[in-house]
């Protein structure tokens, strides 16, 4: 997945936005103000930080060398994924899971508005 494809995929989700609170190089993808992905899109190798269920985070780290505890993040709930190290299909699933976890923590009215009850 290219940086442009990663960015486009993250922005496909309902109410997702790209912001730059950490400076112009760090893309923070949010849903209703809550972060679900963080990436420096011009970094090599390309990585993305994604929220993850704690038990699933451990399983993914054991299965893929490209998945590590979240860099500069709560390592229990976030993984850093090296994009070139996992299949695109798996990466897309991890991004969607991250989005869904963040949405699940939103108030019910917001979840309903996003059609993700």
What are the φ and ψ backbone dihedral angles of 18, each rounded to 5 degrees? -115, 125
Contact 112, 104 (CB under 8 A): no
- The predicted-structure confidence for 4-14, as pLDDT tens digits, reads as follows 999 999 999 99
Burial of residue 117 (CB within 10 Å: 0-12, 13-18, 19+) is exposed
Compute the average pLDDT of residues 34-46: 96
pLDDT over 90 percentage in the chain: 86
Give Cα 75 to chain centroid, integer Å: 14
Tokens of 9: 């995929």
pLDDT interval class at 47 (50, 70, 90): very high
């Amino acid at each position: 997945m290219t940086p442009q494809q990663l960015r486009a995929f993250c922005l496909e989700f309902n109410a997702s936005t790209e912001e730059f609170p950490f400076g112009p190089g760090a893309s923070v993808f949010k849903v209703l103000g809550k972060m679900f992905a963080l990436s420096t899109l011009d970094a090599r190798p390309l990585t993305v930080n994604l929220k993850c269920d704690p038990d699933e985070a451990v399983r993914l780290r054991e299965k893929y060398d490209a998945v590590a505890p979240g860099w500069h993040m709560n390592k229990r709930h976030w993984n850093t994924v090296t994009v070139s190290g996992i299949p695109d299909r798996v990466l897309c699933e991890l991004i969607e899971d991250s989005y869904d976890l963040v949405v699940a923590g939103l108030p019910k009215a917001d979840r309903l508005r996003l059609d993700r009850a």
